A and B are shown apart, each in its own frame.
Chain A
Amino acid sequence: MLKVDGLCVAAGELPLVSDVSFTVGSGERVGLIGESGSGKSLTASAVFGLLPDDVTAAGSVRLDGVAEDLVGASENLLSRLRGSRLAMVFQEPMTALNPSMRVVDQVAEARLIHRTAGDRAAAHRDALRLLEQVRLRDVAELGNAYPHQLSGGQRQRVLLAIALANDPDVLICDEPTTALDVTVQAQLLDLIVKGVKERDASLLFITHDLAVVATVCERVLVMYGGRIVESGLVAEVLTSPKHRYTKGLLDASDLESVDERGRLHAIAGAVPAAGQFPSGCVFRNRCPRADDRCRVQPPWFGEPTAGHACWHPVGGDE
């Protein structure tokens, strides 16, 4: 459904995302995980053609049924796709709603923009139905509320309702549950999966939370330093990671295991600033297993949909 090929995003000379390729099949749910600053959100913005003014994208992004490449496509075409075939749920429910508009009107607007509703009254009815679908309680009352009168979880439901308003083919969620507490998070994840399944839509779920990926997604892409370093089925990647970075992430999130000094595992160092990543393998300055060979960019080992880019995969050549 969505095919990203050799996507590069750069701010001037500074590369931010390099050679990212992946596909999201029809009805498939794919997770994109990585630390802050690994280029996850930029990848999503590039798919939407919503990069900041001074940031440029190269490569190719294809959507089924659209002849043109979305990278470099006209604003006209992109704005017709956004919100109709492509939809996005943002991270910050507190700021992603217009504070001076009633929420039901904001949902109705999504129907009106793409003329999927007949008239204003129909759009309003659709909006109430959508808000009911995302289980907003007292839709009649809360629909007429302004965003500041809703809780974070309620606002995120409204954002989901807006995203699902026109039955998109691809839904991109950019850390939609990061700002929510755990119980609300679980409810919202259920709603997202349900909404996507009902519409047979594809889902690209961006997060840094491995547990969320495990509950929501079928396949996962691991991103680091603007590159995809490993991909595969969730069950396989999360149980037997190949790339040293994925292994590091999993060790770090395992609260049962500790090192010999009784401390939780952590990946050494911090994510470098953009442009400060080492040449060759992007992870080699933090990797316990790095050697001279890692000065050369590792090729992709394995299938396009299940493989890794590491010279010394876990359980490999040790």
Chain B
Amino acid sequence: MRNLVIGAVLVGLIVLAALISFLWTPFDPTQVDAALRLQGPSGAHWLGTDRFGRDLVSQLMVGARTTLYVGVVAVGVAAVIGTPLGVFAAAGPRWLGEIVLRANDIMLAFPALLLAIMFGAAFGASTLTAMVAIGIATVPSFARLARGSALQVLNTEYVLAARSAGRTGLAISVRHVLPNIAGLIIVQCSVSFGIAVLAEAALSYLGLGTQPPTPSWGRMLQESQELLAVQPRLLIVPGVAIALAVLGFTLLGDGLRDRFDPRLEGHRAQG
């Protein structure tokens, strides 16, 4: 319960910052002003400015949008492809399930970063390529989870009862399996969200993700890396933001898992 609250608060702050940034930011996050470069925190610039004189708070706020955008798309791609694939692997013919599983293993063995670099090389580095690459690299974890939990559901008596009432194949998967594994999938989404945020930061840091001038937490790190010794603030601020975002989504996922995981069923009140 504590995990859930802390996670929800952290995630809520990020969402709030991103939403407010559409209406208002203290300064234009992309406005370069040589006179204001490398200023420390002050009344006007709460967290100071970077080497180009851009306001750090404004950049963080707009960067939160990128972070959420990336997370939603990457996790969306992974969940929308991975979940049906996993359910299909469980409910479909055995040989087809085997093929899905083996393909899954190959994907798991393939480094996600390499995939992202390949995508960047093939389609040009952009936030979208990075997101899709992260999403595709996350598909196996969803497929695996969906298959495992779908197998469990398919062995329950209510699925047998549904079959004995005349339900067949696809309808059982849609009406009986999916709703009963949805909880676990949501948990997986939250955990994957944190991983996707981190991956986007890493890719942007490498120049493979979000391109200038769009603010991104990963790129804030990259642009300031030579100043680590003189102005550590410039790295600490986006670093802490990334860490809190990952922590928030992971805690939220953990908290949700405590509520949804069937293995913890005994801890919940049973009517």
Contacts of A148 in B (CB 8 A): 270-271
Contact A79 B162 (CB under 8 A): no
- With A99-B180, A100-B180, A150-B271 known as contacts, the answer to whether A83 contacts B166 (CB < 8 A) is yes
Cβ of A213 under 8 Å from chain B: no
Interface members, chain B 197-252 (any A CB < 8 Å): none
Contact A90 B157 (CB under 8 A): yes
Contact A88 B164 (CB under 8 A): yes
Q: How far is the CB of A315 from chain B (nearest CB, A)?
A: 41
23 intermolecular pairs with C-beta atoms under 8 Å apart: A48-B164, A50-B163, A87-B164, A88-B161, A90-B157, A90-B160, A92-B157, A95-B156, A95-B158, A96-B158, A97-B158, A98-B176, A98-B179, A99-B180, A100-B179, A100-B182, A101-B179, A109-B165, A113-B167, A148-B270, A150-B271, A162-B161, A163-B165
Contacts of A114 in B (CB 8 A): 166
Contacts of A62 in B (CB 8 A): none
- With A97-B158, A97-B161, A148-B270 known as contacts, the answer to whether A75 contacts B179 (CB < 8 A) is no
Most buried by A among B164, B167, B180: B164
Contact B157 A96 (CB under 8 A): yes
- Size of the A side of the interface (Cβ < 8 Å), in residues, is 30
Contact B164 A82 (CB under 8 A): yes
Contact A79 B271 (CB under 8 A): no
Closest to B269 in A: A148
Contact B157 A95 (CB under 8 A): yes
Cβ of A20 under 8 Å from chain B: no
Contact A83 B180 (CB under 8 A): no
| A123 vs B152: C-alpha distance when bound (angstroms) | 30
Contact B166 A98 (CB under 8 A): no
Cβ of A159 under 8 Å from chain B: yes
Q: How far is the CB of A291 from chain B (nearest CB, A)?
A: 43
Q: Mark each residue of chain A from 103 to 140: 1 if its CB lies under 8 Å from any CB of chain B, else 0.
A: 00000011001100000000000000000000000000
Cβ of B31 under 8 Å from chain A: no
Contacts of B176 in A (CB 8 A): 98, 101
Cβ of B102 under 8 Å from chain A: no
| A186 vs B239: C-alpha distance when bound (angstroms) | 68
In-complex Cβ contact of B164 among A50, A75, A99, A101 (8 A): A50
| A109 vs B176: C-alpha distance when bound (angstroms) | 11
| A84 vs B164: C-alpha distance when bound (angstroms) | 10
Q: Mark each residue of chain B from 162 to 194: 1 if its CB lies under 8 Å from any CB of chain A, else 0.
A: 111111100100011001101000000000000
Cβ of A149 under 8 Å from chain B: yes
Contact B158 A82 (CB under 8 A): no
With contacts defined as CB atoms under 8 Å apart, how many contacts are there between chain A and chain B in the complex? Answer: 70
Q: Mark each residue of chain B from 40 to 72: 1 if its CB lies under 8 Å from any CB of chain A, else 0.
A: 000000000000000000000000000000000
Q: Mark each residue of chain B from 105 to 117: 1 if its CB lies under 8 Å from any CB of chain A, else 0.
A: 0000000000000
Contacts of A80 in B (CB 8 A): 166
| A195 vs B30: C-alpha distance when bound (angstroms) | 75
Q: How far is the CB of B223 from chain A (nearest CB, A)?
A: 48
In-complex Cβ contact of A79 among B157, B167, B175 (8 A): B167
Contact A109 B271 (CB under 8 A): no
Contact B158 A98 (CB under 8 A): yes
| A149 vs B180: C-alpha distance when bound (angstroms) | 17
| A90 vs B160: C-alpha distance when bound (angstroms) | 9
| A97 vs B157: C-alpha distance when bound (angstroms) | 8
Contact A87 B165 (CB under 8 A): yes
Contacts of B271 in A (CB 8 A): 148-150
Contact B163 A82 (CB under 8 A): yes
Q: Which 8 A-B pairs have the closest CB atoms?
A: A83-B166, A83-B165, A148-B271, A100-B179, A95-B157, A82-B166, A88-B164, A96-B161
| Given A82-B165, A98-B176, 4 extra CB contacts under 8 A | A79-B168, A90-B157, A98-B180, A114-B166
- With A95-B156, A109-B175, A150-B271 known as contacts, the answer to whether A90 contacts B167 (CB < 8 A) is no
Contacts of A100 in B (CB 8 A): 179-180, 182
Closest to B159 in A: A98
Closest to A84 in B: B166
Q: How far is the CB of A79 from chain B (nearest CB, A)?
A: 5
Contact B161 A90 (CB under 8 A): yes
Contacts of A75 in B (CB 8 A): 168
Closest to A88 in B: B164
In-complex Cβ contact of B161 among A81, A150, A159 (8 A): A159
Q: How far is the CB of A6 from chain B (nearest CB, A)?
A: 23
Contacts of B180 in A (CB 8 A): 98-100
Most buried by B among A75, A87, A109: A109
Q: How far is the CB of B83 from chain A (nearest CB, A)?
A: 16
Contacts of A96 in B (CB 8 A): 157-158, 160-161
Closest to B160 in A: A50
| A149 vs B168: C-alpha distance when bound (angstroms) | 27
Contacts of B165 in A (CB 8 A): 82-83, 87, 109-110, 113, 162-163
| A23 vs B161: C-alpha distance when bound (angstroms) | 24
- With A98-B180, A100-B180, A148-B271 known as contacts, the answer to whether A79 contacts B166 (CB < 8 A) is yes
